[in-house]
Structures are given as structure tokens and as C-alpha cells.
């Protein structure tokens, strides 16, 4: 669906607020691709390994130069590929999420990811979810949203998600992980987590997935 001015919708917000699920469903309703930018950072963290954020900038830039992200499909069927290969499920672990948050504050990493994301947005219409899509990567996006929810509710949602996948879920540990991610994301010096000035803020604490989708879709189509 590439054209001179592709439709870009941004969904920003903290960890565990449901951005990925909503973005995929919204992209499906709009018939466009879903860009999971968090998965891009997770893929880099998983591929480079623990401690990569402490590497010399030159080494990081060299490693990132070997990365090429691309999109295939649309909506919930969108696949984010790294060097032509699908991403492993292991990138979704809590540990990889913490690594990704550390890697995300490194200037060379953020610069590379911004460039890669902008390129994807120039070549196809998409719904992009992340931490700074509306503020830094796609400031000219036609529609911008910032999703939020109480940390406790976000931890409960993450637990339910893991349990539905048959994975162990420790509410206390997950709540602490979310607290740490929030502190890192909201207080980092580079592109801190915050709504874009023209973003519509949606508190999802007491809303179900269908309600949030209907609300956001109403704004986009309205």
C-alpha cells in the first residue's frame, strides 16, 4: 500500500499496556502492516547478547550494519524479518525485554533503529507501536495515540498472557520488571517515554481489548 504519503498510525506507551496486540488488530482493520518496534530492539538485544550495551560504539555500529529489517504481510499476519528470517519466540522473554531496554538508551542503537523504522514507514502504510513513535520517529504521522494503564493492571495482563501460553507467571516478579522498565523508559535522557503533544491519550486500565480497538479505530476513521 505504498504511495507518496503512506498512512502512518503511531501507538506509544509503557511496557505491558497492550500496544502490540492493539497495533496488530488495528493494522488488520485498516488493511496495513504492523510494525512492532519493540521487537526490533528485542531482536537486536537477543542477537547481540547480554552486555552489548556496554560495547564500544564502533563495535556496535559495525554489528548493527549487518542488520536489515523488513516487513511481510499485514495486520496480525505481519511478519517482522531480520536479514530475511523470522524472529525467534525467545525474544519475548522478560530477560530479553530488560536487555532491550538497556540497549535502547545507547545513542548508536537508537540512531540505527530510527533510520530503519523511518525507511519502513517511507515504503509502506503501517501502524507502528513503541516508546517514541509519535515523538521521534514519525512526528508527522497522521494519527498518534499514547496508551497507558496502572502498573498493577499491566502486570496482571502480562501474567494472564503468559499463563495462556502455558508459561510460568510470577506476578510479583513481573510487577517489579515492569516497574524497572518504566523507570528506565520514562527517565532516560534520550527519547524518554512521553506522549507526543498532539497524541490522543487512552487510559486502558478499565477497558477491554475490543473497547480500546473500537475507541482508537473511531478516531482514525472519524
Quote the CA–CA distance of 54 and 48 in Å, as a whole number. Answer: 11
pTM exceeds cut of 0.85: no
Chain centroid offset of residue 57 CA? 24
Q: From first to last of its 222 residues, what are the pLDDT tens digits of the chain?
A: 444 578 999 999 998 888 988 999 999 999 999 998 889 999 999 999 999 999 999 999 999 999 999 999 999 999 999 999 999 999 988 899 999 989 988 989 999 999 999 999 998 899 999 888 999 999 999 999 999 999 999 999 888 888 888 888 889 999 998 888 888 888 877 778 899 999 999 999 999 999 999 999 999 997
Please check whether residue 3 lies inside any domain of the structure.
no
Quote the CA–CA distance of 160 and 167 in Å, as a whole number. Answer: 10
Please check whether residue 15 lies inside any domain of the structure.
yes
CATH number of domain containing 58: 3.40.50.300
- Residue 18 phi/psi, 5-degree rounding, is 100, 20
Quote the CA–CA distance of 118 and 7 in Å, as a whole number. Answer: 13
Cα separation values, 220 from 26, 190, 207, Å: 10, 29, 18
Please check whether residue 17 lies inside any domain of the structure.
yes
Please check whether residue 150 lies inside any domain of the structure.
yes
- Contacts of residue 8, defined as CB under 8 A and 6 or more positions apart, other chains included, come to 121, 125, 126, 128, 138, 140, 141, 142, 143
Cell numbers that stand for 60 in this block: 556496535
Number of domains in the chain: 1
Please check whether residue 2 lies inside any domain of the structure.
no
Q: Say which residue the cell 528485542 belongs to.
A: 42
Please check whether residue 207 lies inside any domain of the structure.
yes
Please check whether residue 119 lies inside any domain of the structure.
yes
Quote the CA–CA distance of 18 and 147 in Å, as a whole number. Answer: 8
In which domain, by residue range, is 112 found?
8-221
Quote the CA–CA distance of 187 and 194 in Å, as a whole number. Answer: 10
Q: In terms of Cα–Cα distance, which of 107, 130, 118, 92 is closest to 60?
A: 107
**β-pair partners for 70:** 81
User: Contact, 217 vs 26, CB < 8 A?
Assistant: yes
Amino acid at each position: 500500500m505504498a504511495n507518496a504519503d503512506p498512512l502512518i498510525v503511531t501507538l506509544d506507551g509503557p511496557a505491558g499496556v497492550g500496544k502490540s496486540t492493539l497495533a496488530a488488530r488495528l493494522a488488520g482493520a485498516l488493511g496495513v502492516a504492523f510494525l512492532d518496534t519493540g521487537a526490533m530492539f528485542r531482536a537486536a538485544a537477543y542477537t547481540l547478547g547480554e552486555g552489548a550495551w556496554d560495547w564500544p560504539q564502533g563495535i556496535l555500529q559495525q554489528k548493527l550494519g549487518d542488520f536489515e529489517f523488513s516487513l511481510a504481510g499485514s495486520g496480525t499476519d505481519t511478519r517482522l524479518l531480520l536479514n530475511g528470517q523470522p524472529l525467534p519466540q525467545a525474544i519475548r522473554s522478560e530477560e530479553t525485554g530488560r536487555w532491550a531496554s538497556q540497549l535502547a538508551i545507547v545513542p548508536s542503537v537508537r540512531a540505527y533503529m530510527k533510520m530503519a523504522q523511518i525507511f519502513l514507514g517511507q515504503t509502506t502504510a503501517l501502524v507502528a507501536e513503541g516508546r517514541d513513535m509519535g515523538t521521534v520517529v514519525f512526528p508527522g504521522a497522521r494519527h498518534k495515540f499514547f496508551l497507558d494503564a496502572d502498573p498493577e493492571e499491566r502486570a496482571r495482563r502480562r501474567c494472564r498472557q503468559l499463563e495462556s501460553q502455558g508459561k510460568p507467571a510470577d506476578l510479583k516478579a513481573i510487577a517489579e520488571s515492569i516497574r524497572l522498565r518504566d523507570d528506565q523508559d520514562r527517565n532516560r535522557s534520550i527519547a524518554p517515554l512521553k506522549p507526543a503533544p498532539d497524541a490522543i491519550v487512552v487510559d486502558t486500565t478499565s477497558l477491554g481489548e475490543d473497547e480500546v480497538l473500537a475507541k482508537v479505530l473511531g478516531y482514525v476513521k472519524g
